[in-house]
């Protein structure tokens, strides 16, 4: 329902998925204000957000506090994430484990989002529907792990899932109408998946993926607090 007082915030707004989520939320008119934050781009004078630097997260939360003065933050989507960059590839074997990569993947995928919750949770409304959606990954499911490999990315997403679940319990004590959950977006054609998305996988465009994610977000309520779901709204094993 459109409400000019409501704010949606997307973290990782420069990413393949994040940029589409911002665009589609802006064109939906469900929110009076849609704010995208990212590390590499700055819009509306927002500070750059580097999830590996707590000072950067603190600065963004302070900036958001000014923009959401009436505790209007009704939707937060965290669509940032890291899998590979030059010189850093997901591991296929124990022999490839590397402390620098493990530290980086945990810092961006799990520790940063946890610190983000620490600094943004005081801005959340104490009553009324509020949704916090962390874009996770099915490979972070321990129960679903049949293939092995990708130690760091899998473990960082499993850690993220535990943080989301734990926070969902604490946040619901402050607002019984909150839904804090983890979502698997499916395989999406972005820079993150590009070197790995094999033929035969259901690879979707960021446009379609964002549309499907927002359809599920639309249906979320407190009954799905602390859940792990995919982009079709189906529950996933932790
Ligand atoms: N694509 C897939 O098939 C797929 C599958 C399963 C799960 N996911 C998950 O979906 C989410 C979105 O990924 P994507 O496919 O859209 O990837 P992407 O296009 O590579 O976008 C990643 C985003 O994360 C941001 N980011 C990276 N390091 C950061 C840092 N230190 N601080 C703040 N932001 C940082 C990037 O910002 P910069 O632009 O500044 O680098 C970018 O906005 C991720 O959580 C990913 O794990 C994706």
Q: 169 — alpha (psi -120 to 50), left (phi > 0) or beta?
A: alpha
**Ligand 1 geometric centre to CA of 18 (Å):** 8
Among 31-40, 63-72, 156-165, 198-207, top mean pLDDT goes to: 156-165
Give SS3 for 190. Answer: coil
- pTM, rounded to two decimals: 0.97
Per-residue pLDDT band for 189 (boundaries 50, 70, 90) equals very high
- Tell me the CATH number of domain 3-230, given options 1.10.645.10, 3.40.50.150, 3.40.50.720, 1.20.1630.10: 3.40.50.720
Domain boundaries, the chain: 3-230
Number of helices and strands in the chain (H, E): 6, 6
**Ligand 1 geometric centre to CA of 128 (Å):** 29
Is the model's pLDDT at 199 over the cut of 80? no
**Ligand 1 geometric centre to CA of 183 (Å):** 14
Is the model's pLDDT at 4 over the cut of 80? no
Give SS3 for 129. Answer: coil
Mean pLDDT of the chain: 94
């Amino acid at each position: 329902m459109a409400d000019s007082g409501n704010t949606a915030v997307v973290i990782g707004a420069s990413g393949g998925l994040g940029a589409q989520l911002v665009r589609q939320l802006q064109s939906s008119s469900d929110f009076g204000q849609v704010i995208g934050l990212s590390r590499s781009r700055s819009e509306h004078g927002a500070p750059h957000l580097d999830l590996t630097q707590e000072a950067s997260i603190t600065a963004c939360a302070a900036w958001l506090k000014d923009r959401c003065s009436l505790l209007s933050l009704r939707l937060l989507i965290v669509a940032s994430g890291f899998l590979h960059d030059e010189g850093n590839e997901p591991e296929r074997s124990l022999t490839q484990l590397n402390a620098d990569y493990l530290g980086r993947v945990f810092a961006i995928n799990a520790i940063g989002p946890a610190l983000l919750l620490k600094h943004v949770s005081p801005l959340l409304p104490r009553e009324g529907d509020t949704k916090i959606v962390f874009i996770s990954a099915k490979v972070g499911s321990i129960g679903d792990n049949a293939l092995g490999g990708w130690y760091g990315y899998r473990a960082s997403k499993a850690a993220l899932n535990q943080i989301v679940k734990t926070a969902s319990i604490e946040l619901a004590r402050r607002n019984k109408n909150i839904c804090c959950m983890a979502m698997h977006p499916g395989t999406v054609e972005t820079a993150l998946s590009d070197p790995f998305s094999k033929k035969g996988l259901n690879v979707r465009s960021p446009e379609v993926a964002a549309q499907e994610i927002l359809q599920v977000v639309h249906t979320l309520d407190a009954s799905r607090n602390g859940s792990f779901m995919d982009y079709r709204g189906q529950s996933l094993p932790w």
